[in-house]
Amino acid sequence: MMLLVVRFVVLFTLCFGLSYFLTPLMKWLAHRLGYVDKPAAHKAHQKTTPLLGGSAIILSFLAGVMLFRPMDHENQLTGIIASTVLLFIVGLIDDKMGMMPRTKLFWQAMAAAIMISYGVRIEIIDIKWISIPLTVFWVVGITNSVNLLDNMDGLSSGVSFIICMILFFISGFNSLYILAILSLALAGSCLGFLRHNFPPAKIFMGDCGSLPIGFLLSAMAIIGTWREAATLAVTLGIPILVLGVPIFDTTLVTVTRLFNGRPVSQGGKDHSSHRLLNMGFSPRQVALILYFIAICLGSSAIYVLESTRAQMLFVFLGILVMAFILGIRLGRIQVDYGNSATSRTRGKSRSATPGAKGARKGSGKKSISGEDEGKSDDSVKNGNLNKAEEKPKPRKKSRKSLK
């Protein structure tokens, strides 16, 4: 037992250290290779900011997992790592050149298919023609939810760290060594990067980080809760509780856009983080609030693992009611749809609400349906805003007036 604890401590420390020291290197490399987000009139940051922070996370994660990989789960681990590398490459391409939304969805589905082919899938239903599509839907949905959550400094990396630690504790209940290794490696890597990404961020994660991280969280949730669950309530509830923050944020955005008669595919500054900013919280306070919610949801998930059916029902219903109330409260917060402009300048654009240092206007992300989060309106696209801001040229004085 003591040897196992030492291995876990070494793994976490190794991944944390690698990520912490690799991030400045990725920052330098991003400037050299053009993986940067340049400042503009509608952005908060005043200097060019690199986008390759996710590379430090994924490289550190892969190094830790390869050194401490569980030999008895070699097949499953191979599928997860192969899919992670695939989405890492997809994210690098998207950060540099951009990518059509349908193309991104295709590669996310391909990553899910690769993982399924190596034996990792949702097993609450034995019928494969139901289980396989359900797994693909879960993976693509969570991958995009985490991707869209990366709309403010320190948010996606911090919440992902908390989720990984919750999954690590769950691995102890189910005696899943593979889940313990994956969750600790990713937790250490995210925490090392968070030191450089916490508001105000010195480097952004980019899709090369958020896409594979979202995939890994979806895969670990399948391994940890949908394979060894004792009851149907645990089977269905635990993954949703653990990943509650990104799921809630995506649900809030979808419902409010439909309720307001706006296309779900249309981007905007209407995520939960933007609404909290509009309530008067600072970017750091918003990040800490969502961290706290993630911890509460994760703690509830751990409690449910060892509780009675009545206690499970009480927890699930209580959280559902609180989520509903919070959703209504946040949904009533006025958001600025018209000025949610973010444009892509060699990578994902990220900017903040006016006067909020460390936050980004919109997320620069593309929703599942394919549109950029925080896309500019037609007047901005057509250059009318720039024209309106141009100062009138002074009239030339006539010769008579000069006399």
Structure tokens at 339: 């000025």
* Cis, peptide link before residue 24, omega less than 30° from 0: no
C-alpha 231/C-alpha 76 separation (Å) is 24
* Closest to 192 in 3D by CA, of 54, 328, 76: 54
Q: Which residues contact 161 (CB under 8 A, 6 or more apart)?
A: 187, 190, 191, 194
* Closest to 180 in 3D by CA, of 360, 9, 349: 9
Structure tokens at 63: 């190094």
Q: Is 207 annotated as a binding residue?
A: yes
Structure tokens at 77: 């681990």
DSSP β-ladder status, 49-50 and 36-37: antiparallel
Q: Is 255 exposed, middle or buried (0-12, 13-18, 19+ CB in 10 A)?
A: middle
C-alpha 234/C-alpha 73 separation (Å) is 24
- Tell me which amino acid residue 142 is: I
Q: Scanning the structure block, which residue is given the tokens 């490399």? A: 29
Q: Is 147 annotated as a binding residue?
A: yes
**The Cα angle at residue 18 between residues 46 and 149, in degrees rounded to 5:** 50
* Closest to 358 in 3D by CA, of 154, 148, 57, 150: 154
Structure tokens at 319: 């959280």
Residues tagged in the binding site annotation for Mg(2+): 147, 207
Residues tagged in the binding site annotation: 147, 207
